[in-house]
Structure 1
Amino acid sequence: MFTGLSAFPLTPVTTSGVDERGFRKILARLKAARVDSMGILGSTGSYAYLTREQRKRIATQAKQLAGDIPVMVCVGALSTDAILHLAEDAQSAGADALLLPAVSYQSLRNEEVFDLFATVTRQVSVPVCVYDNPGTTHFTFTDELHGLLSSLEGVRSVKIPGVPDSPTAARERVDTLRKYLRPGVTIGVSGDAFAGLGLKAGCEVWYSVCGGLFPETAKQITEAAAANDHARVTVLTTRLEPLWALFRKHGGSIRVIAAAAGVLGLTDTDCLPRPLLPLSAGDIAEIARVITMLDLK
């Protein structure tokens, strides 16, 4: 399941709690597009803001709605005990894989992160993807640590935060990391603006926020990459620069994607967990214009 397009949907949260109806509408788009997998409760899925019970219910709903599409569930939390409880819930819900970040309040050491992954992989029966996202977790993985983690039998993929912004440097980055990884462990690019560079550099999977709301648009890119049509990958990803610009303008993707889900009528335009606030009416109008201009689907 760690290839192709892994779509990471929004978990819409309104004043009355998780908008389960909106969540079902979002997942219906992913199922209709036949994404390769779904990444539930990632950063855009607001895992850090939800209770254990809310996360268990969302994981259960996702698995029921996904049909035969594999589902990966994020089990990130501050303590190992909490992670193990979340992993148990996700497996009970039928998760096909777990996404595990090294979330830090106190600064973590490499040996502590290795012990975390070793503990989790010993106690779960589904594969694990390493979630490398220092911007949100405040822990930076080294290539050496990725190599050690890949020696654990349960680790099957690494989700990296992006690649350098030139084709040559991107290829060197992916090739260097791959030298440390056990054969068969895939590398997945996130940071949507870097998706084209990462896929052309040899990443096997795009862990995609864009794909979580606009799966048809994102799937065109991964299909071009699978066909080794690098020119088309470049054209398709460059075309989406106005969307990447919105992500940069608003400090990341979650506020943009939440507003976009509202524009599409899938949920309220105010669907972020507090203390996150919705964008202004003017910003939402700009997002609506970009959706129309790019014909995002």
Structure 2
Amino acid sequence: MTTGTPFRGLSAFPLTPADEHGRVDTETLARLVERLCEAGVDSIGLLGSTGIYAYLSREERRRAVEAASECGRGRVPLVVGVGTLRTDHAVDLARDAEAAGADALLMAPVSYTPLTQDEAYEHYHAVTGASGLPLCIYNNPGTTHFTFGIDLLARLSRLPTIRAVKMPLPAGGDFAGELASLRGRTQLAVGYSGDWGTADAMLAGADAFYSVLGGTLPRLVLALVRAAQAGDAEEARRLDGVLQPLWDTFKTYGSLRVMYAILDVAGLGRAEPPRPILSLKAEARKQVLAAVEPLLASG
């Protein structure tokens, strides 16, 4: 297990390269993890949405954790996603992740039948009872169609292993107001995702940013996060401006599809998104290439 605080600073989320049958390419994954360790990110977020957790079997998820843990052990904290539909399966995944070397857990309330606030609470309560690892709540309503009420977050924050929450970008951009509300009701470390909000979130005082781009081009995103942490708004805004063309492709095509294209363009590996998700077509890839090529030298 790695010492350190997994829910502060830049948490970088790499792709989980896998073949068409959902078998993880552990060699390419290990290279991506090595790149993140060398860059000095604050934590690695494995098997998040960018890590296609919902498309992988239990066995493949464990293989991914083992490969990442073997590479990063003792260097960078490894936060592992254990979201899945059934509570008993989430319990199994949490135990698997802990046994395979994870330092912390990340869990979204994945659902088909919409969950109530009480059902989500019981889901998290069961998983925290199965593992002693610190856990980050993954609030991702765009994917899960579940939104955490502040009362539920306050209730969950009283469970002994729940230490953090990963929030979507706030409607209207009121980071300061949301941070004040969350900190007034909970003791959770508050982080955000949605890469085009990195500068705003960190300048507003968020504890962490959970970055898709940071999983592949860590140095550039880390520079932005460090500038914001230091209160250097001018430099943070400058770097955000450099990244704006890429943020535009995220918004247009979806960050997951864009990251598969970047993996190829950057020469870091070849992988296809899990079907039914399709790779970007030629014109879209051309736009991604134009946005990312100027960044590769500093990524």
Matched, 1:280 2:284: no
Structure-2 separation of matches of 1:249 and 1:195: 18
Q: Is the contact between residue 80 and residue 106 of structure 2 (CA under 8 Å) also seen in structure 1?
A: yes
Matched, 1:267 2:269: yes
Structure-2 separation of matches of 1:170 and 1:284: 32
Quick one: which amino acid aligns to residue 233 of structure 1? A
- Aligned partner of 2:33 in structure 1 is 27
Q: TM-score with structure 1 length normalisation?
A: 0.94
1:190 is displaced (CA, Å) by 0.5
Quick one: which amino acid aligns to residue 182 of structure 2? L
Q: Where does 1:1-297 land on structure 2 (aligned, <5 Å)?
A: 1=5, 2-15=7-20, 17-67=23-73, 68-166=75-173, 169-182=174-187, 185-250=188-253, 252-268=254-270, 270-295=271-296, 297=299
Runs of 4+ in structure 1 deviating by more than 4 angstroms, as ranges, are none
Q: Secondary structure at the match of 1:129?
A: strand
Q: Which consecutive unaligned segments of at least 5 residues does structure 1 have?
A: none
Cα-to-partner distance string for 1:88-135 (whole Å, 9 max, x where unaligned) = 110001110000111111110001111111111122111000000011
Structure-2 separation of matches of 1:209 and 1:59: 18
Q: Is the contact between residue 159 and residue 189 of structure 1 (CA under 8 Å) also seen in structure 2?
A: yes
Shift of the 140–46 alpha-carbon distance from structure 1 to 2, 3 Å rule, reads same
Structure-2 separation of matches of 1:283 and 1:214: 20
Quick one: which amino acid aligns to residue 217 of structure 1? L
Quick one: which amino acid aligns to residue 260 of structure 1? I
Shift of the 78–95 alpha-carbon distance from structure 1 to 2, 3 Å rule, reads same
Cα-to-partner distance string for 1:14-50 (whole Å, 9 max, x where unaligned) = 3363222221222121111011100000000000000
Q: Which consecutive unaligned segments of at least 5 residues does structure 2 have?
A: none
Structure-2 separation of matches of 1:29 and 1:85: 29
Structure-2 separation of matches of 1:174 and 1:164: 13
Quick one: which amino acid aligns to residue 147 of structure 2? T
Cα-to-partner distance string for 1:174-226 (whole Å, 9 max, x where unaligned) = 211221112xx200010111111111111110111010011001100111122
Structure-1 separation of matches of 2:85 and 2:206: 29
1:164 is displaced (CA, Å) by 4.1
Q: Is the contact between residue 163 and residue 194 of structure 1 (CA under 8 Å) also seen in structure 2?
A: no
Structure-2 separation of matches of 1:197 and 1:149: 26
1:138 is displaced (CA, Å) by 1.4
1:165 is displaced (CA, Å) by 4.8
Q: Secondary structure at the match of 1:39?
A: strand
Q: Is the contact between residue 202 and residue 209 of structure 2 (CA under 8 Å) also seen in structure 1?
A: yes
Q: TM-score with structure 2 length normalisation?
A: 0.93
User: Percentage identity across aligned positions?
Assistant: 40
Quick one: which amino acid aligns to residue 145 of structure 1? L
Structure-2 separation of matches of 1:198 and 1:226: 10
